[in-house]
Structure 1
Amino acid sequence: MGSKRLDWIDIAKGIAITLVIVGHTVPNPSPLRHAIFSFHMPVFFILAGYTFRPKPWRELLSGSVSRLLVPYVVLALAWQVPTFLMSSAPLTSGTLVAGLKTLVFASGVDVPGLGVTAVGMTWFLAALFTSRLLFNVLVRLFDGRDVRVVWQGVICAAIAFCGLSVSRFMGVYLPLDLDLSCYIALLMWIGYTARQRGLEPSASKPLLFIGAGVAWLVLAALSGLELSSRRVDGFLVATVAALAGSYCVCWVSMALEKLKDVPVLGAFERGLVFCGQASLAIFAIHAVDWFVPWQTMPLLMTLPASWLFASIVRCACDIGLAYVIKKA
């Protein structure tokens, strides 16, 4: 993949990580939050598929453990340990077992029926780890059996639907988000196939961008998607809405890439490239910034549209801290 392509991918990741912060700051429920959640996490998974290369198992495991599983454990503990200390609860064997269950399940929400508490935002890292392993199996199977692309899509969609059915309809959540990873593998396949077939967005085709934008607006309003809680209301409609929204993000990213030499817009483009390159660091900072009462700060609450100012301040803090750490 050339450097130019990496630039637009970084911009898309920069947009997506910014929307993650905003989506966690705006009122819940709200139309804006609904709109953001309809595509902001799928962008990451689709791009993960776009940049995916099948690897030998030892190489895949080594890279995925160091880049995803280890940060997951560190960030999960960085959230869970202070939370436990502030609760003033006694440290018992039962508490340790409950904490271990939380780490093993890696669920973004409480696991019904098992008494397992949510691990918080870090579910994303565990789910991506499991999804990479699952998707590597699928790609090697497809390549080894010479499965046609249409049947690949059917198989991935069937696996995704079954995985969601296990958690949503049967109430069974699997360790390391394996049930959710079945759906994520479908999103990764979409990105992977787009690269294989040369179907990535082109900034020279504005009509496709407009069509995707209209499709996203309509379909997102008719469905609901929140991956941390396994909420995919209207499987087909929600998935197409996520794809359309992700297409728009990638199209805008390619358009911004072409403006990198324009004085003001070029600085904005470089800022988004940084956010994309540092998206994991920004995510890590954001994963532990929940101790700050962004939505209820007295200074911000006195302002009109306080959620807007809270989002701006939160983005500035998370991104700014990531920048300082990188430059240190």
Structure 2
Amino acid sequence: MNIKNKNSIGMFDITRGMLMIAVVLGHSITAYVKYWEPQFTMHWWYCFLILFKPVIYGVIPMFFMMSGYGFRKKTISKNLKDNARYLLKPYVITAAVVTLACIIENTWKHQSVKDALWYKTVPFLLGLCPGENWLAGHYVGSIGPIWFLVVLALAGFILNLVFRLEPEWMRAVCIIVAVAWCTRLPFISLIPFCIIQALCCCGYMYIGYLLRTHDLLYESLGKKTIIILVILAFSIMIPGNIEVSQNVWALGMLDYVASAITGFLLLRLCMLLNAERFKSKVTRALRTIGRYSLYILCVHTMEYLAFPWTKVQSLVSGHVVLGIVITFIMRCLIIAVGSRLLKRGLERRRRKKK
């Protein structure tokens, strides 16, 4: 199979579909199991979480590598227009829905709408993640899962600027220096427009670009190479810890290297499910989810921030597994309906403009 047949529009849809399910499931689990808190680390089953560390390390890098795989250098004006058209509009719609839900909820409860707007809306105006801290005398929250959209837009813009450097080694040095600096920074809760995360994820996008230009996604690596990469990644993952959305890198650049290796290997593994190899109802469903991952991300953020999940948790208090299952199913239903409505609304608006 030649490279022209392998690289195609929608080639990552199945992978994106699997990752979106993993993200929603992960958020449903962490609503009940705070695996990073001391009381959970004392359980005997905590040692089994090491089996899930490759997912924790690899999911976010995979998303950005897939985005970088199709990267093309653009003019600055073209880059800004594309970001405004494809990323800014969904972000604004998500912020508007969360704000409206916030106003309705607090008006109904006769609580301070002003404080609620500071907590739910101001983070969107400033692009704050992780947030959850005091700002100008008010407590502000986070933009939630849609931080990915902010980082994708900014990281793509930064990478586009970097690609004005010649030769290639200057680009690589520039990105490596930026990543090395960002991964050594202390935890900062109020990061405007996720600039630090964007600099880090710019590196993942650059790796994705290299995967395409050097045909590394399909080229055979050999068993020895794969074994060495797996051992190297696990030797760092076991003592390390990362949270890309919050710019947490316990081992600094070493953690970044482990996440890049893990993301690369998982991406190669997921490509085995390419529709050219397997065709079934499951792969078709995953492809559909992946194709509409942008809508799913927006609706997931809406329900993540606006839906009263704490009430659901109180109803199933003491039944962790049941709570996770109920939360996950409810989220899937909300996302399915919401994504369909959002898709229809945006398509109608496009048709009217034509």
Q: TM-score, normalised by structure 2?
A: 0.75
Aligned to 2:253: 236
Q: Hey, what's the Cα distance between the residues in 1 that align with 2:309 and 2:208?
A: 36
Q: Do structure 1's residue 76 and structure 2's residue 95 form an aligned pair? A: yes
In the other structure, the counterpart of 1:46 is 65
Cα offsets for 1:35-54 (capped at 9, x unmatched): 53322122111111111111
The verdict on how the C-alpha distance between 1:8 and 1:222 changes in structure 2, with shifts beyond 3 A counting, is farther
Distance 1:15 1:270, change over 3 A: same
Q: Which residue of 1 aligns with 2:351?
A: none
8 Å Cα contact 1:80-1:119 kept in structure 2:
no
SS in 2 for 1:288: helix
- Between 177-186 and 201-210, report the one with greater CA deviation: 201-210
Letter in 1 for 2:78: E
| 1:104 maps to which of 119, 125, 139 | 125
The one-letter amino acid of 1:237's match is L
User: Deviations for 1:145-165, whole angstroms, at most 9, x for unmatched residues?
Assistant: 2242xx433321211233455
2:292 aligned partner, one-letter code: A
Alignment-mate amino acid for residue 98 of structure 2: W
Deviation at 1:65, TM superposition (A): 0.9
Matched, 1:138 2:181: no
1:14 maps to which residue? Answer: 17
Q: Secondary structure at the match of 1:110?
A: coil
**Structure 2, gaps ≥5 residues long:** 37-48, 346-354
Match of 2:205 in 1: 188
Structure 1 residues 182, 275: CA separation in 2 closer, same or farther (over 3 Å shift)?
same
Partner of 1:286: 300
Contact 2:69 2:205 in 1 (8 A): yes
Distance 1:4 1:315 in 2: 34
Alpha-carbon spacing, 1:133–1:198, altered in 2? closer, same or farther (3 Å): same
For 1:204-263, what per-residue CA distance to the aligned partner results, in whole angstroms no more than 9, with x for missing partners? 85665555444444432221111221112212222122222222332222211266455x
Q: Cα gap change, 1:108/1:172 in structure 2, threshold over 3 Å: closer, same or farther?
A: closer
One-letter code aligned to 1:68: L
* 2:78 counterpart of 1:64: no
**2-side partners of 1:217 and 1:314: how far apart?**
34
Deviation at 1:191, TM superposition (A): 1.0
For residue 273 of structure 1, report the CA deviation from its aligned partner.
1.7
CA distance in 1, matches of 2:264, 2:83: 26
Residue matched to 2:151: 127
Inter-partner Cα distance in structure 1 for 2:326 and 2:52: 14
Match of 1:29 in 2: 35
Identify the residue that residue 268 of structure 1 maps to in structure 2: 282
**Gap change, CA 1:324 and 1:113, over 3 Å in 2:** closer
Cα distance between partner residues in 1 of 2:28 and 2:52: 9
Change (3 A) 1:8 1:292: farther
The alignment covers a number of residue pairs equal to 316
Q: Give, as a single letter, the amino acid of the residue that structure 1 aligns with 2:93.
A: V
* Structure 1 contact 13–44 (Cα < 8 Å) conserved: yes
Q: Structure 1 residues 327 and 81 mapped into 2: Cα distance closer, same or farther (>3 Å)?
A: closer
1:114 pairs with 2:135: yes
Return the letter of the residue paired with 1:317.
L
Q: Are 2:313 and 1:321 aligned?
A: no
Residue by residue over 1:114-168, the C-alpha shift from the partner in whole angstroms, topping out at 9 and shown as x without a partner, is 3543222222211211111111000122xxx2242xx4333212112334555x2
Q: Is the CA contact (8 Å cut-off) linking 1:126 and 1:177 kept in structure 2?
A: yes
